[in-house]
Structure 1
């Protein structure tokens, strides 16, 4: 919807902003066009802000679970499976 439609139908008597005129929301004409979005990933758009910059790929993410943690996960999975089997409404 255009600004003209809003002024005509909603009674908004705000004057038209000249292209390039600064406002608190930015300059007129710097809006994203309909259907337009910023292309690229975060690290392409902001290369200095890449949170994984300098970290080898094999070190990104969570470390592997210890044997005790794996056993605890297996016990919890068994417990949940038993609960699901005893109560089919879950």
Structure 2
């Protein structure tokens, strides 16, 4: 939005809207006690696309803002990757603690 280019705005609105929809779907499933692997995978893919876009922007123009955006995007991708890894502790349900 800061650049004012229509393609950048479309990229943000489309991917951001899809990510928001998948996040709401995943949250509703979690509250029902169910898992939604399809929504989690979709979130991971969209976050990876956004991370690659931020990384390419960082390579072209290194500023504090692009560095922070790339760092946050990378952390989100790492979170979704961790979330999608198989769970080593069988029998645990979402929201349970030991």
In proportion to residue count, which structure has more strand?
A: 1
In proportion to residue count, which structure has more helix?
A: 2
Kindly name which structure, 1 or 2, has the bigger radius of gyration based on alpha carbons: 1
Structure with higher RCO (Cα < 8 A, 6+ apart):
2
Q: Give your verdict on TM over 0.5.
A: no
TM-score (ref. length: structure 2): 0.26
TM-score (ref. length: structure 1): 0.28
